[in-house]
Amino acid sequence: MHYQLFLFICTIALVRSLPQGAPSSVCQTMMPFHGGGIRPQGGLPPYNVVPRRQGGQVFVTVTSSLGIPFQGFLLQGRTPNGEILGQFDSSSVNEGHPLDCGEAADSITHNSPNDKNSIDVLWTPPKGYEGPVIFNATIAQAYDTFWVGVESNPVDITNRGANDPQFAFPTQSNSPTPPNYSPPEVKESAAEFDPFYQGCSFSKLCFGSPANCIDSKNCKSAVAVSVAGDKYDFELKAESGAAWVGVGLSDDDRMGDDSVIECVKRGNGIAAFMSYTKGKPNYGAPRLSNPQLGIQILNGSIIDGTIYCRVRRDALTNVNGTIFDLLSQKYYLLIASGSKVRANSVAFHDLSYLASAESQALSDVSSLAPKSKLLIRLHGSFMIAAWLGTASLGILLARYYRQTWVGSQVLGKDVWFSWHRTFMVLTWALTMAAFVLIFVELKAWSGENNPHAILGLVTTILCFFQPIGAYFRPHPGTAKRPLFNWLHWGLGNAAHIIAIVTLFFAVKLTKAELPEFVDWILVAYVVVHVISHLLLSIMNCVAEKSSERRVSSFPMKDLGGSGKSSAYADRSADAPFSTFRRAWLAIYILIILAIVVALIVITALAPIEESWSNFKSSVINKN
C-alpha cells in the first residue's frame, strides 16, 4: 500500500513537472521520461526543424508540414560530434524559455503543454565559431507520442556573412526578411510536403494505390514497411473520406487466405486489428479472435480526414493455422481502403485497391511494381467500342437506311445490309473478347456490390444468341418471318439499352478507376443517339406525308409483315431526303467516334487524374 502511494505521489510530481518543459537532466540524451519509460516514436516524424541565416544569427522554426500541433519541445544547436553550443534568445519566442545545459541558454524548451502550430526562435553562435551546426529537437505531439532526434539540415557558420548559404523558410513569420534572401519559386505540388513518402525506396518499402502514386506522392492509400530490429513497422495512410485502410500479405496477387493489418477510425482516434481474408466464393475479411495478435499500434492520427497509423508486427505469426514468416518468405502486398466498416470487419474496398505485380521480401526497400491492369483496360475499351460504336451504327443503319444507296452493293449485298452485318459482327466479337478477358483477369465473379457484373452477363448472353438467330432467320414471306422480326428487333434493342446502363454502372467500379465526369460523356452519347432516332423518324413521317411512299425501311408496322420488298412503290431509287440522311449519318459517325475515342483514352489511362497530374509534375520538374 505504501509502495503504491509512493508511486502515485511520484507520478503526480512527474506530471506536474512536464508543463514547465524539459529538465536539465535530459540535456545530453534529450529523452523524456514520460510515464516511467514510454518509448519514443520511430520512423519519420511529422515535424520539421528549419534553420535560416539572418545576419550573424540563425532563425530556427519548428513546425509540421501536415498541420499537426505539438505540446512540448526541447531544441538545441550541436556540432556534428554532438557538442551543444550557441545561445537562444528567449525573447524571440513566447512559447519557450531557455535551459542551461552546458552554457547559459544553450537550449530552449516549452513553457506550457498548450498546442503549438509552430515556434520561431533566434540562435546566436559562439563568438569566433566557424563550422557546421545541426539543430536537434525532441518534439512531443502528446504525453505518450513524441519523437527524439529530429534534426535540421546542417548550417555552415562562417564569417563571410552575405556569402553564406540561405535556407528557405516555409511558414509565415513576423521577423524581417534579410535583404539578400530571395524566396524560391513556388512550383505546383512543391508547397505541400508529406513525410510519409520520405525514405521510400531508400530506407523503407513503399506501395500505394493507384499505380505509381508513390513517385507522384498522391496515393489514395499507401503502405510503407521498414525493419525495426527483429520486428517490422507498417505505416498505413488513406486519403480523406476513408474509414479504414489495410494491407494484406498474400502468396499471390489475389485476395484470399491473406494476413491483413487494418487501421480503422474509432471516434477521434485509430485502432489497429489483424484479420484474415476468405477466398472464393464467400469473400470477406473477418478479424481474428485475438485481433491484436502479433501487432502493436505505435501511432495513429486523423488529420483533415486523412488516416495514418504505424503498427509494429512480429516477424513470425500463426494466423488461422498459417505461418507468416516475414524474415524468410516473400509476399505480395495488397493495399486497400474503404468508406465503411462493419462490427467485426471492414467493408468492401470501395475507395482503392491494388495488388503488387510480384512477391518481395519486406526488408527489400527497392520499388514494388503494381499488378498490371491491362486486361481490365482492354475489357472496358472493347465494351465501349462495341456498344457505343459499332452497335449504335449497326442499329441506325438497319432502322433508317434500307432505302439509301439503292442500286449499289457490297459483296453482292445492299450497302446498308453489308455495313449492318459488319458492325454487328464486330460488336459480337468485341463483346465476347471482353467477356473472356474479364474472367481471365478476375478468375471469379466480381465481389463488388454493383449490378455491373450481372447486367454485363445479360448483355453478353443476348449478344451471343443474336447473330445465331439472324443466321437461321426464315425467308421473307414465310409464316415465321414476323416472329423473327419482332424477336430480332426486341433482343437487339434490349441488349443495346442494357449495355449502356451497364457502362454507367462501370463508372462506380473501384477497379475501373474512372472519374465521375465519365457519366456526363455517357449522357452526351445518349442525347446524341436519341436525337438521331427522333430526327430520322420525323423525317420518315414528313416524307410519307409529302409523297405516297414510305421513307423508313424498317418502320414498326413492318415488323409484323412479310418482309417483302413491296413496301415501297419504287425500289429503284433512293427514298426522299436521302441526301439529308447521308449527311446526318456522317455527322453522327464523327460525334460517336469522338465520344468512343475519348472514353477509350480515359479508360486506358485510368486513373486519368493521376496520369495528368504526373504529366504536369514531370513538365514542371523539367522546366
Burial group, residue 299, by CB count within 10 angstroms (0-12, 13-18, 19+): buried
Cell of 68: 499537426
As a whole number of angstroms, the distance between CA 292 and CA 278 comes to 19
pLDDT at 165: 39
Q: Residue 300: beta bridge partners?
A: 309
pLDDT higher than 90, residue 127: no
Burial group, residue 67, by CB count within 10 angstroms (0-12, 13-18, 19+): exposed
Contact 213, 222 (CB under 8 A): yes
Domain covering 196-355: architecture: Sandwich (2.60)
Q: What is the mean pLDDT of residues 538-561?
A: 58
Q: How many helices (H) and strands (E) does the chain have?
A: 10, 24
As a whole number of angstroms, the distance between CA 486 and CA 479 comes to 13
pLDDT at 23: 84
pLDDT higher than 60, residue 617: no
Q: What is the mean pLDDT of residues 9-13?
A: 39
Cell of 552: 423508313
Number of C-beta neighbours around residue 376 at 10 A? 19
Higher pLDDT, 165 or 18: 18
Closest CA to 40 of 145, 195, 137: 145
Closest CA to 510 of 346, 280, 349, 277: 349
| Average pLDDT of the chain to the nearest whole number | 81
As a whole number of angstroms, the distance between CA 275 and CA 264 comes to 12
- The tally of CA atoms less than 13 A away on the side-chain side of residue 225 is 29
Per-residue pLDDT of 327-377, as tens digits, reads: 999 999 999 999 999 888 898 888 889 999 999 999 998 888 888 888 999
Taking the CA atoms of 464, 470, 471 and 473 in sequence, report the sign of the dihedral they define: positive
As a whole number of angstroms, the distance between CA 38 and CA 18 comes to 14
Per-residue pLDDT of 136-155, as tens digits, reads: 999 998 877 888 889 988 88
Unique residue bearing C-alpha cell 510536403: 193
Confidence of residue 34 (pLDDT cuts 50, 70, 90): low
Higher pLDDT, 180 or 594: 594
pLDDT at 560: 52
pLDDT at 7: 39
Q: Which fold has domain 2-159?
A: Immunoglobulin-like (2.60.40)
CA angle 603, 605, 606 (to 5 degrees): 65
pLDDT at 85: 92
Three-state SS annotation for 506-553:
HCCCCCCCCCCCHHHHHHHHHHHHHHHHHHHHHHHHHHHHHCCCCCCC
Q: What is the mean pLDDT of residues 241-264?
A: 92
Contact 563, 383 (CB under 8 A): no
Closest CA to 456 of 392, 512, 513, 504: 504
Contact 431, 528 (CB under 8 A): no
Unique residue bearing C-alpha cell 467500379: 509
pLDDT at 282: 63
pTM listed for this prediction = 0.57
Confidence of residue 166 (pLDDT cuts 50, 70, 90): very low
pLDDT at 91: 78
As a whole number of angstroms, the distance between CA 138 and CA 558 comes to 86
pLDDT at 10: 41
CATH fold match for the domains 196-355 and 374-611 = no
pLDDT higher than 50, residue 80: yes
Q: What is the mean pLDDT of residues 421-437?
A: 95
Per-residue pLDDT of 435-474, as tens digits, reads: 999 988 887 777 677 899 999 999 999 999 888 877 777 7
Three-state SS annotation for 205-255:
EEEEECCCHHHHCCCCEEEEEEEECCEEEEEEEECCCCCEEEEEEECCCCC
CATH number at 374-611: 1.20.120
pLDDT higher than 60, residue 595: yes
**Which phi and psi (to 5°) does residue 288 adopt?**
-70, 160
Q: Per-domain residue ranges for the chain?
A: 2-159, 196-355, 374-611
Distances in Å between the alpha carbon of 440 and those of 248, 323, 378, 457? 22, 30, 12, 15
Say what percent of the chain tops pLDDT 70. Answer: 82
User: What SS3 state is found at 438?
Assistant: helix
